[in-house]
Amino acid sequence: MATLWTKGGKPDSKVEQFTVGKDRELDLRLAKYDIIGSKAHIAMLAKVGLLSGDEEKKLRKGLDKILDSVKNGTFRLADDVEDIHSQIEITLTQMLGEAGGRIHSGRSRNDQILVDIKLYLKDECLKVKEEVRKLFDTLMSLADKHKEALMPGYTHFQIAMPSSFGLWLSGYAECLAEDVAMLKAAYTIADNNPLGSAAGYGSSFPLDREMTTRQLGFSSLTYNSIAAQLGRGRTEKAVAAALSQIAGTLNRLSYDCCLFLCQNYSFISFPDSLATGSSIMPHKKNPDVWEMIRGNCNLISSAHSQICMLTENLPHGYHRDYQLLKEIIMPALDKMHSCLEMADYMMQNIEVKEDILSDPKYSPIFSVEKVNRLVESGVPFRQAYRTVAKEIASGQFKPQFHGPIGASSLGHTHLGSIGNLALDKIREKMNLADFVSL
């Protein structure tokens, strides 16, 4: 296998196979970012006099040609090449001769992979954010559409107080706004340039790290070379934590949908085409999509724990353990994209049941409303509570509401209640959490 670090001897093939693992397969995702990082690096090398203008021009042209092959899907890692960094440098050397090998001056594969990962994770955070916003917009639109439709609210799986589809849907939307705030924090951590830290201890070349920071679109740089290398794992962990937060929101929404689809509830429904059936029970409409979202979100959440277990017992400096990070964070991101897309698709096709609370079995859900009306008439709260409790126990309780009613009928007016969903405030919260690439 072709390696940049060989000193003339031949590595053991079993060691090569074990240590490379899935790196070559996953590295293809980083090809674009490795080339972008290399272009910034050679521009800086030319500026500080380590490359001539002609050499920099030839290298840039060669890198652009490789980038074209990445974009059109023809770029490949040769069977005997260790990683993406090796393949690009080898290809350049084949194209340009010795000039191709000069691209590595002043850097190490350690800061190369750091740059690649950070640029990749920045892009991935932006993609996830846009997918979250799409689902957020769908939920908010549905909340406004169904704001009058009442449904039971539950605690301990027992009917508790009147809720509404508007409250339920916008509740998850607001959680997504907070999730984006956490994703923004992860993006901020990724948005620091590690290039120039080399193997973790800098370089004796007069590198201009501020120039590469500007060229690569990072908002800042990781100044300390050791801190830059300590960032390996920290950035992935921050992103995984944000993904876990979003996954937790989707997980609970999925559970709710599975529950509310059950015939014992029948609060919501979806078109038959979005459900699956049974091989022996012709009546079945299974919520497989929501169950798969729920299961995948559990796996996404585990990525953060895996990264913690992989990295938190290591001293500073590079260790080969870090290679395994890609096998954790990349599949988690793939699952996240898929789950967000499907959750939005399902919610765009949701149908809600009207007049759920007209069913007499939900009458006790209005007990708090009666207690509050007694309090407003001058009865002390505890006395009002006991009065209504006795009515319920004796079967004498009758709600003050009859027939179809909407959320606005109940007199809930405070901010964030079923009568005042504060949708404008929730949108404002999402807008404040939002972030863009600079």
* Pair (346, 300) in one structural domain: yes
Given 81, 105, 129, which residue is the final one in a domain? 105
* Pair (299, 259) in one structural domain: yes
* Pair (301, 407) in one structural domain: no
Residue 5 has pLDDT above 50, yes or no: no
| Residue-wise burial string across 262-281, b where 16 or more C-beta atoms lie within 10 A, e elsewhere | eeeeebbbbeeebbeeeeee
Rounded to whole angstroms, how far apart are CA atoms 147 and 419? 8
Residue 351 within any structural domain of the chain: yes
Alpha helices, DSSP H only, in 146-224? 165-190, 209-216
Give the sign of the dihedral formed by CA 73, CA 74, CA 75, CA 80: positive
* Pair (148, 202) in one structural domain: yes
* Pair (41, 139) in one structural domain: no
**What CATH number corresponds to the domain at position 88?**
1.10.275.10
Over residues 344-372, the pLDDT tens digits come to: 999 999 999 999 999 999 999 999 999 99
* Pair (275, 310) in one structural domain: yes
* Pair (311, 219) in one structural domain: yes
Q: What is the pTM of this model?
A: 0.92
* Pair (90, 165) in one structural domain: no
Domain that holds residue 228: 116-355
* Pair (350, 364) in one structural domain: no
**What CATH number corresponds to the domain at position 310?**
1.20.200.10
Q: Hey, what are 220's tokens?
A: 């800042």
Over residues 324-334, the pLDDT tens digits come to: 999 999 999 99
* Pair (427, 366) in one structural domain: yes
Total domains present in the chain: 3
Once rounded to an integer, what is the mean pLDDT over residues 334-342?
A: 98
Rounded to whole angstroms, how far apart are CA atoms 435 and 306? 27
Residue 24 within any structural domain of the chain: yes
Over residues 69-78, the pLDDT tens digits come to: 999 999 998 8
The alpha carbon of residue 141 and the mean position of all alpha carbons in its chain are separated, in whole angstroms, by 22
Over residues 187-198, the pLDDT tens digits come to: 999 999 999 999
* Pair (51, 183) in one structural domain: no
* Pair (302, 188) in one structural domain: yes
